[in-house]
Amino acid sequence: MNVLGIESSCDETSVAVISNGKLLSNLIASQHFHKLYGGVVPELSSRAHLQIIMPLLKQALTESKLELNEVDVVAATAGPGLIGALLVGLSFAKGLAFSLNKKFVAVNHIEGHIFSGFLMEEKPEFPYLCLVVSGGHTLLLIVKSETEIIKLGTTVDDAAGEAFDKAAKLMGLEYPGGPLIQKYARLGNPERFPFPIAKLKNPYDFSFSGLKTALLRFKQKEYGNSKIPEADLPDIAASFQNAIVKALILKAEKALSEFKVNSLSIVGGVAANERLKNEALTLASKFGIKAVIPLPEYCGDNAAMIAYRGMLLAKNNMFNSFEFNAYPSLKKINFSNWKSI
């Protein structure tokens, strides 16, 4: 089975091909990349996706040594995301499947992330604890099977990736903040400044808004309205990163003590954070289970995970009609059997 995956839920446009479970191509054009080639500053979402999606498809097929009519299933992200951006990839995919007389699968972006560990050599084993951490989402889940997902908790305010970006802004660093904080944090002392970890009613929920405010307060107290001196950035970055990673790991640890699982998988853009990765490996070995953290190219938004999820749904005969529409928010996340505890 040859599956074509298309992703355009936010800033990245991506096209991937999976053939009989093997990833043949995964091309990602970030809008930043696009800026270098397009010559104009692209708008967030729709127009940039529209310009790049066709060239990406052609290149992905060439790399995969496949003809367009050899594609069996077309899978595309239907949500959640920016509606204008989603519509480009989804409409393109539907049009393609319709004209080629092929099957179409609408993929939930978060479910794409949840199963992205399967793109690795070493795959998660069911049931597994999954932590989805990205710019827009922070979720703790138990994945029981290909079609059964149990939600333990989520963020009640800011997502983990957003906390990194906003902290970077407060610290006077540029966008994207996550990688810059990680860079400074490598040189800093993570224990120097104790930033708070939120306690919540549901022990599996997350909150990072208070952490942001704590950083702001700290900055005002220490430096008033002036810039944080370069020399202090490493310790602040390390301490802030420590607080985020600790919160994520603590909740994961609690879940591992409570539920019997065979693997721990950390996915989404923030999973590329090396400190989180190291802590996750330590945690998993403490419980004697496998840790699966995808390579960075499968952590950020990408079509490989959409193609993979599309393949799983196709195997389960969960196809969609061409009337299936894009949806912006997480609440309609009900393709698979999602439950809350």
Partner 1 sequence: MERVVEIKDLDELREFAREFAKRLNDGDCVVLTGDLGSGKTTFVKELCKNFGIENVTSPSFAIINEYENERKIYHLDFYRIKRWEELINIGYFELIQNEEAIKFIEWGDLFSNVLPSKRIELKFEIVEEDKRKITIEEH
Minimum distance from residue 194 beta carbon to partner 1 (Å) = 17
Residues 30, 47, 202, 258: which binds partner 1 (CB under 8 A)? 47
Q: Which of 127, 15, 125 is nearest to 62 (CA)?
A: 15
Q: Binding to partner 1 by residue 166, rule CB under 8 A?
A: yes
* Complex with partner 1: residue 85 or 305, whichever CB lies closer: 85
- Does 161 contact partner 1 by CB under 8 A? yes
3-class DSSP state of 135: coil
Decide: 102 and 68 in contact? Cβ < 8 Å: no
228 binds partner 1, rule: CB under 8 A: no
Smallest distance from the beta carbon of 6 to partner 1, in angstroms?
18
Decide whether 139 or 293 has the Cβ nearer to partner 1: 139
Contact region with partner 1 (CB under 8 A), list: 76-84, 143-151, 244-252, 273-281:
76-84
Stretch that binds partner 1, among 18-26, 145-153, 242-250, 328-336 (CB under 8 A): 328-336
Contact with partner 1 (CB under 8 A) among 29, 159, 180, 312:
159
Is the torsion defined by CA of 32, 38, 41, 43 positive or negative? Answer: negative
Q: Is the dihedral of CA 181, 26, 130, 340 positive or negative?
A: positive
Under the binding rule (CB under 8 A), the answer on residue 157 touching partner 1 is: yes
Q: Is there binding between residue 242 and partner 1 (CB under 8 A)?
A: no
Selected from 7, 12, 111, 162, the binder of partner 1 by CB under 8 A is: 162
How far apart CA 60 and CA 323 sit, in angstroms, is 26
Tell which one of 7, 12, 111, 158 touches partner 1 (CB under 8 A).
158
Q: Which is nearer to partner 1, 85 or 96 (CB)?
A: 85
Residue partners of 46: CB distance under 8 A and separation at least 6: 84, 85, 87, 88
Give, in order, the Cα–Cα distances in Å from 143 to each of 114, 124, 173, 201, 262: 8, 10, 37, 23, 10
Provide CB contacts within 8 A for 3, sequence distance 6+: 17, 18, 19, 71, 72, 73, 74, 75, 307, 308, 310, 311, 314
The CB-side HSE value for 82 (13 A sphere, CA atoms) comes to 14
- Contacts with partner 1 in 79-138 (CB under 8 A)? 80-85, 135-136
* Residue 58 or 332 with smaller CB distance to partner 1: 332
Cα dihedral 134, 135, 139, 144 sign:
negative
Interface residues with partner 1 (CB under 8 A) are: 41, 43-47, 80-85, 135-136, 155-159, 161-162, 166, 169-170, 209, 212-213, 215-217, 220, 328-329, 331
